[in-house]
Amino acid sequence: MLLISQELMICPTKLNLDTELRSIETWSSLNALILISRINEETDLTMSSSDLSQLITVKDLYMFLQKHMNK
């Protein structure tokens, strides 16, 4: 959750696995692109904006990362 909180400039204590990404007060299309870029850099994955648009919660994002990092 640290990565998400850093990129979306929100206190990590305001996030939990059930937090809906689009309900985060600093969520915007620009911040979403920045988050994707950071994920791609840090994980060597190629996440797209359409991938992120399919994810609803923080848990969905973590599940996506786990699934694609284990390939």
Q: Is residue 60 part of a domain?
A: yes
Residue 58 sits at the vertex; the CA angle it makes with 13 and 10, to the nearest 5 degrees, is 35
End-to-end alpha carbon distance in the chain: 22
Q: What is the pTM of this model?
A: 0.88
| Residues recorded for the chain | 71
Count of domains forming the chain: 1
User: Quick check: is 14 in a domain?
Assistant: no
pLDDT in tens, the chain (71 residues): 788 999 899 999 999 999 999 999 999 999 999 999 999 999 888 999 999 999 999 999 999 999 988 76
d(CA 35, CA 71): 21
Find the domain containing 36 and state its range. Answer: 2-8+19-69
